[in-house]
Amino acid sequence: MRISVLFLLLLSMVACSSIKEPAQPQARQDADSMLSLAQGLAASSRSDEARESFSYALQMFEKFAGIDGQLSCLSGLCKLSLAEADIKGYQEIKAKMQDITREIAPELDYHLLLLNIYELQSKQDYAAISALSIAKTDYPLSVKIQLANAKLQADSYLKRGTSDAAKTLNKMALAYKKQLRKQATGNPELVSSAWYALAYYYFSVGDYALAIDKLALVTDWDYRWGNNTGLGHAYWLQGQVQRKLNQGDLALASFRKAEIIFGAQNDSAALKAVTNEIIRLKGDEP
């Protein structure tokens, strides 16, 4: 009997000593997962579900004052409002982000910076985007990659993109991809967006082979992660590159795929633009 009691005591001591101190509460992990779901839904143009998920994730972060997560959720809700031309809703949510940043976490000002860039992208103000897309050294990798992405695309459009900027963004994309696999959390769209920016840069400088290589990565990644909006834009750009390579049949197929995706998403602006690409490809207009 004494041996049994001693054995149980030792067993309990071993069990207690094996309990690991958590790096973060389970509530944080659950909130991060909900945020990732919301971002994925937004990327797939499932706006109503994304809004519901962002709102639910926001409540989860509020329970333990997870400020970074709250700002990410509010930013997602802002982008949805802006996409739907709900200016009042956009301004109200942005004002809340400004209050939180000013009064609680000024070091998280990059959430507002990225939101301002997103708004400028909707206005196609590429010069302002380029000037604003500057990262501080202490910004997280996920923020640095978004700023480098926005700047390279803007500069490429303005015909002033550089190979050094492209190399830097490519390194960031590979590092973030590795981080995604290691941590099993994050936003996969950042990887494909970086590759898309690289493809657009190579397209702008006439290196069509490298542009096609990067677009192959984008279409595969966005298809597997369900980023349908990104997939549609990748097919659109792919068609433009293939047209430059005099691959008319391939270009038409790519444009048609983009047309189908934009039609399914009711994205009238993108649909009109890609339809015009098809008309020009067929030679129905000058």
User: What is the spatial distance between Cα 65 and Cα 252, in angstroms, rounded to a whole number?
Assistant: 51
Question: For residue 25, what pLDDT band results from cuts at 50, 70 and 90?
Answer: confident
* Widest Cα–Cα separation across the chain: 97
Q: Which helix (H) or strand (E) holds 212?
A: helix 208-225
Distances in Å between the Cα of 147 and the Cα atoms of 4, 70, 123, 186 are: 63, 20, 17, 16
- Confirm if 169 and 152 have CB atoms less than 8 A apart: yes
The 10s digit of each residue's pLDDT in 65-74 is: 999 999 999 9
Cα-Cα end-to-end distance for the chain? 97
Mean pLDDT of all residues in 244-262: 96
The residues, ordered by sequence, that sit 6+ positions from 45 with a Cβ below 8 Å of its Cβ are: 228, 229, 265, 267
Structure tokens at 3: 């041996």
The 10s digit of each residue's pLDDT in 146-174 is: 999 999 999 999 999 999 999 999 999 99
User: What is the spatial distance between Cα 226 and Cα 224, in angstroms, rounded to a whole number?
Assistant: 6
Q: Is the pLDDT of residue 13 over 80?
A: no
The mean predicted confidence, pLDDT, of the chain is 91
Burial of 19 (0-12, 13-18, 19+ CB in 10 A): exposed
Measure CA 207 to chain center. Answer: 25
Greater confidence (183 vs 266) lies with 266
- So where are the chain's domains? 29-41+48-120, 124-204, 227-286
The 10s digit of each residue's pLDDT in 167-199 is: 999 999 999 999 988 877 778 999 999 999 999
